[in-house]
Chain A
Amino acid sequence: TQLLEQSPQFLSIQEGENLTVYCNSSSVFSSLQWYRQEPGEGPVLLVTVVTGGEVKKLKRLTFQFGDARKDSSLHITAAQPGDTGLYLCAGATSGGSYIPTFGRGTSLIVHP
């Protein structure tokens, strides 16, 4: 079973559109990370959220951690072709090990 479920699995949009991707679990997380991975490269850390209800912004990207710390969302405003990539969420459950466990990711393509 996958600890972290990400949706949608694939997303293909036009430049300028907005989008939201989701990361859900039945478990409570002590912290959750979002990464972006470009083809043939390793994932790059974007943000960490720790507090339930926390919202963090990174330019056009807005990250939210659910109040119960079981889910998170990533919203991109006015997507650009440079946003294309695989978006991965990862985390560790409360009281568990600190080994990062990853979801399957959302593959985003932004067409010019």
Chain B
Amino acid sequence: ETGVTQTPRHLVMGMTNKKSLKCEQHLGHNAMYWYKQSAKKPLELMFVYNFKEQTENNSVPSRFSPECPNSSHLFLHLHTLQPEDSALYLCASSNGGNTEAFFGQGTRLTVV
């Protein structure tokens, strides 16, 4: 238990569906991140939020839409995804100024 919870753990969706991934942290951290992990690729940073403000968008396609309503919650809204978007999506949190990141267990996404 790292203090970061992601739901759902597994998700299968069609290319025309709309779904959302949820992340919640109980560590009092002020920074939250979305990473994508595909087979045989390094962790790819997608989005960064500091104090609820988006500070980084790493050239992510618009079919991925993040939302951070407060410092403890982070969402990733998905729509019209492609099969190549199938991957493990990881949420993490940290204190600003500290690169020690605490990860959730991830959501295994399969786009069919």
Cα distance, A2 to B44, chains bound together (Å): 11
B61 within 8 A of A: no
Determine the interface band of chain A, counting residues with CB < 8 A from chain B. 20 to 34
Q: Are B42 and A98 in contact (CB under 8 A)?
A: no
B98 within 8 A of A: yes
A residues neighboring B (CB under 8 Å): 2, 30-31, 33, 35, 40-45, 48, 88, 90-92, 97-105
Of listed B4, B6, B42, residue having the most chain A CB within 10 A: B42
**Can you name the residue of chain B whose Cβ is closest to the Cβ of A104?**
B42
B92 within 8 A of A: yes
Binary contact readout B92-112 vs A (1 if CB under 8 angstroms, 0 otherwise): 101011111111111010000
B residues neighboring A (CB under 8 Å): 2, 4, 6, 31, 33, 41-43, 45, 48, 56, 88, 90, 92, 94, 96-106, 108
| Extra A-B contacts (6), CB below 8 Å, given A43-B103, A44-B103 | A30-B99, A31-B99, A33-B99, A35-B103, A42-B104, A88-B43
**Can you name the residue of chain B whose Cβ is closest to the Cβ of A47?**
B100
Cα distance, A105 to B106, chains bound together (Å): 17
Q: What chain A residues lie within 8 Å of B101 (beta carbons)? A: 33, 43, 45, 90, 100
Q: Are B2 and A99 in contact (CB under 8 A)?
A: no
Cα distance, A83 to B105, chains bound together (Å): 18
A-B contact pairs, 14 of them (CB 8 A): A2-B42, A31-B98, A33-B100, A40-B88, A42-B6, A42-B90, A43-B90, A90-B99, A90-B101, A91-B99, A98-B97, A98-B98, A100-B101, A102-B42
Q: Are A41 and B100 in contact (CB under 8 A)?
A: no
Closest CB in chain B relative to A95 CB, distance in Å: 13
Q: Are B104 and A100 in contact (CB under 8 A)?
A: no
Across the A-B interface, the 4 shortest Cβ-Cβ residue pairs: A42-B103, A102-B43, A104-B42, A92-B99
Closest CB in chain A relative to B60 CB, distance in Å: 14
Given A2-B42, A88-B43, A90-B99, also A98-B94 (CB < 8 A): yes
Cα distance, A65 to B102, chains bound together (Å): 21
